[in-house]
Amino acid sequence: MNDTNTYVPKAAMVIVAHPDDAEFMVAGTVAKWARAGSEITYVVVTKGDKGSDDPAMTPSRLTTIREAEQREAGGILGVRNFEFLGYPDAYLRHTLELRRDLTRVIRQYRPEVVFTFDPETRFISETYPNHPDHRTTGDATVDAVFPSARDRLTFPELLTEGLEPHKVAEIWLGASERANAWVDISATLDVKIEALKAHPSQLGPEIVEFAGQMARWGAEGQEFEFGEAFRRIRLDAPPEFPAGQD
């Protein structure tokens, strides 16, 4: 297995449910890889149009605000491409339409690595249930990567759009209880924090301290202080089966 602190893919895609999800989950790694020359694409599935307690706020206005915040945050990190799929926030379901839309962007940008949520994570901590949109996005993304983006006869309408099949080499799952890969983000924690601060509609000044604490959690058990942890799935390696199975 490649060392996660020296490995840099040619292209990576981050697929998340809402604007600001990527900054929490993977911003330090994104900044590190972008600095090393990786082409990063953000795919935001929903409009984030429910994330406000302001009685005067409207979904359409919030959509515009949050897309602008996401573009600014991604720009801080070095993200080159943005795709906003426009699904309604809080109502996301794992449909064939969603999987086809994700398959489309994967075939279009042809990433070596895809980041998304671990769909098996029901609770992120003892006090925080994982958002249903996160779980749905992770589940649909994994299915889009394997097998839909790979298989020519799945969603043949995409072939008429000139989108040939693509084999993603690796899936990196964030917010996972089964992390097996850690990235040292000590050199990019500052830009992760700046990217989080680019979401003022959602986050206040307390995010600075919280981001540091998250990065310490992400490095737990490692030789560095600040990190991000992932469950890394190698699709380009021979399959491994439990002993006694064939």
CA distance 194 to 15: 20
pLDDT in tens, 117-166: 999 999 988 888 999 999 999 999 999 999 999 999 999 999 999 999 99
Domain layout of the chain by residue ranges: 11-234
Average pLDDT over residues 47-52: 97
What's the pTM value of the predicted model, to 2 decimals?
0.95
CB 33 within 8 A of CB 7: no
* pLDDT at residue 71 in the model: 98
* pLDDT at residue 1 in the model: 43
Average pLDDT over residues 167-187: 97
Which residue in 14, 27, 60, 56 sits closest to 188, CA to CA? 27
Q: Is 142 exposed, middle or buried (0-12, 13-18, 19+ CB in 10 A)?
A: buried
* Confidence band of 20 (pLDDT split at 50, 70, 90): very high
Give the residue carrying structure tokens 């008429």. Answer: 160
Which superfamily, per CATH, for 11-234? LmbE-like (3.40.50.10320)
CA distance 193 to 198: 9
CA distance 152 to 188: 39
Lookup: tokens for 23: 């900054």
